[in-house]
Amino acid sequence: MRVALYQCPPLPLDVAGNLQRLHQLALEAKGADVLVLPEMFLTGYNIGVDAVRVLAEVYNGESAQQVARIAKAAGIAILYGYPERNEDGQI
């Protein structure tokens, strides 16, 4: 198994920007089976409780679906982190 690791500070509060970065990273990781990104990659760290409440998504939310499309297009599995909200709305 070939693993590509990417360690970087995510773009704080910029989910769309981080997804754009992910698309490029997935293409650059060609030949790897898995691309591993930092925890909280989609939102950044230390963004505050209010921002986490706003940006948290369910496991199959819009961002997860976009990550799945990126993974499929690049032919690679992607391991990433984000604040998760359960189906009851709890984070």
H or E element: which one contains 15?
helix 15-28
Max CA-CA distance within the chain? Answer: 39
As beta bridge partners, residue 4 has: 35
Q: How does pLDDT run across 8-66, given as a tens digit for each residue?
A: 889 999 999 999 999 999 999 989 999 999 999 999 999 999 999 999 999 999 999 99
As beta bridge partners, residue 77 has: 34
Distance of CA 74 to the CA centre of its chain: 15
Q: How does pLDDT run across 58-86, given as a tens digit for each residue?
A: 999 999 999 999 999 999 999 999 999 99
Domain ranges of the chain: 3-79
**Would you say the pTM of this structure is higher than 0.95?**
no
